[in-house]
Amino acid sequence: MRLGLTKSLKLSDVFGLGFMTFAFYLGAGNIIFPPLAGFMAGEHLLAAMCGFLLTAVGLPLITLIAVAKGSSGGGAGGWTGMTRYLPAGVATALAITIYIIMGPAFAIPRTGLVAYEMGLKPWLGDSGHEGLLIYTLSFFALVILVSLDRGKLLDAIGKYLTPALMAMLLILAVGVFMAPQGTMPDASGEYISAPLTKGMLEGYNTMDTLASLMFGALIIGLLRQKGIEDYRSQFKYLTIAGLISAVGLSAVYVSLFQLGNSAGGVASDVSNGGAIVNAYVLSLFGQPGQFILAAIITLACFTSAVGLLCAGADYFHGLTGWAYRNWVLLLGAPCALVANVGLSQLISLSIPVLVAIYPVAIALVLVTFLKRWFAHPRLVFRGVLAVAFLFGCLDGLGAAGMKMDGFAFLPLFDQGLAWLMPTLLACMVGILVRPGAKLAAEAA
């Protein structure tokens, strides 16, 4: 009898896993932010798009791989492995913060709002607050219903819903490149002087780096349900899923950037990306195009909401031992109420929080990859994350509109990246300071 064998996934399951991961990421922010960025970038399209792809595709992919790498350290989905050098209370508080932000506080309610604003409102017109309430209650009731049985996620989303979504996105992308509807607008705002950095900051708004910490844990749990128990296989399949989703997201972002960049004279309302896409699709495909757009938006937001809710419920189930289904109901029910705050208000509230917490998530990923170079990983992990949190809070307060002129001397402070140089410096110090040569012992 041979021991240590593990099951392997069929090719169809591998692609299903990758498509499911892509669908989880492709939600509200992924569709509304790129068109607006493309419109405002004007002649600086390439630089802005590269910055956006760096933080909206590159960072989430690296984070997903870091979660897979962290799974060698034990714990569900690699979170315990990634945070094993942090105090247990700090690691738990950080996880809870991320799951709440990506759950009922911001990300999940935003999916319902965008689905309403872009999927239903163009057909029915403004039906007032009552219409939004009825829609969001129905939307999140269906999200909860699908999320209650996470075992069927791979088949329901990866093999059926996502291919339909990708087919509709392909139709839109071909139309954008083959028959541009307008002209290139002039660059505006911060895209004139710093398009690369502005694009990077816009990529934050997708929340996908934070989502990777959640989705990585969820996907590893799904792999275990499929009998994939060993670290090497989990790492391989999670990395493949991440690469498939990265390719898909890149294609979507490039086409949406191009849409926004050729919307001059087409969109009269450029206050948000949703309005730009609506006007462009109406011009490109006519009234039938509105049906395609409504289907794209609704499917994208729905699959993303399901993924986020499942990941949150799965984490809190593991943390408390309370039934998974109870957590689905507890986390899902408030989403409809939060969604009724309104899209613009929800985005304005979420940006300062994201600007503050993102540096901590990025720093955690960075030290996870560099840990074998640290002689004292426990000290370095805590120091680097403390620095990232401290300076991230400064950026967050600035994004909230507070006057922070006293910190203007910090490198990149005016671009909302005051945390970057201090965090990188803390990592360098952690690598260079190596008393006692304890690298091999402590990094194991």
CATH code, domain carrying 191: 1.20.1740.10
For the whole prediction, is pTM greater than 0.75?
A: yes
Residue labelled with tokens 């002129």: 405
Q: Which of 284, 319, 340 is the last residue of a domain?
A: 340
pLDDT score of 363 = 93
Q: Which of 312, 340, 368 is the last residue of a domain?
A: 340
Residue 319 shares a structural domain with residue 370: no
pLDDT score of 52 = 95
Residue labelled with tokens 């994208």: 300
Residue 388 shares a structural domain with residue 293: no
pLDDT digits (tens, 9 = 90+) for 119-133: 777 777 666 678 888
pLDDT score of 325 = 93
CB atoms within 10 A of CB 5: 9
Residue 165's nearest CA partner among 115, 122, 129 is 115
Structure tokens, 168: 């509709």
Residue 334 shares a structural domain with residue 350: no
Residue 322 shares a structural domain with residue 397: no
Residue 102 shares a structural domain with residue 117: yes
Structure tokens, 418: 């005051």
Q: How far is CA 34 from CA 30, 38, 188, 247, 261, in A?
A: 7, 6, 15, 16, 10
HSE of 392, CA atoms in CB hemisphere, 13 A: 22
Residue 173 shares a structural domain with residue 94: yes
Structure tokens, 27: 């939600």
Task: Say which DSSP state 101 is in.
Answer: I
Residue 105 shares a structural domain with residue 130: yes
Residue 155 shares a structural domain with residue 204: yes
Residue 37 counted as domain residue: yes
CA–CA separation, 423 and 359 (whole Å)? 9
Residue 4 counted as domain residue: no
Beta-bridge partners for 264: 183
Residue 260 shares a structural domain with residue 361: no
Task: Say which DSSP state 409 is in.
Answer: T
Residue 5 counted as domain residue: no
CA–CA separation, 169 and 154 (whole Å)? 20
pLDDT score of 294 = 84
Residue 415 shares a structural domain with residue 288: no
Q: Read off the pLDDT band of 157 (50, 70, 90).
A: low
Residue 322 counted as domain residue: yes
First to last CA, the chain: 31
155 pLDDT higher than 80: no
Which range among 158-172, 210-224, 420-434 shows the weakest confidence by mean pLDDT? 158-172
CB atoms within 10 A of CB 390: 15
- Burial of 323 from C-beta contacts in 10 A (0-12 / 13-18 / 19+): exposed
pLDDT score of 167 = 82
Residue 353 shares a structural domain with residue 325: no
Mean pLDDT estimate for the chain: 83
pLDDT digits (tens, 9 = 90+) for 380-425: 999 999 999 999 888 888 888 788 888 888 888 877 788 989 999 9
In sequence order, which residues have a C-beta less than 8 Å from that of residue 247 and are 6 or more positions away?
Answer: none
In sequence order, which residues have a C-beta less than 8 Å from that of residue 60 and are 6 or more positions away?
Answer: 25, 208, 209, 211, 212, 242, 246, 249
Q: Read off the pLDDT band of 74 (50, 70, 90).
A: very low
pLDDT score of 159 = 66
Residue 383 shares a structural domain with residue 332: no
3-state secondary structure of 183: strand
pLDDT score of 4 = 44
Residue 52 counted as domain residue: yes
Residue 264 counted as domain residue: yes
Residue 319 counted as domain residue: yes
Q: Which of 340, 356, 384 is the last residue of a domain?
A: 340
Task: Tell me the residue type at 233.
Answer: S
77 pLDDT higher than 60: no
152 pLDDT higher than 80: no
Residues spanned by the domain of 395: 345-443
**How many domains does the structure of the chain reveal?**
2
Residue 6 counted as domain residue: no
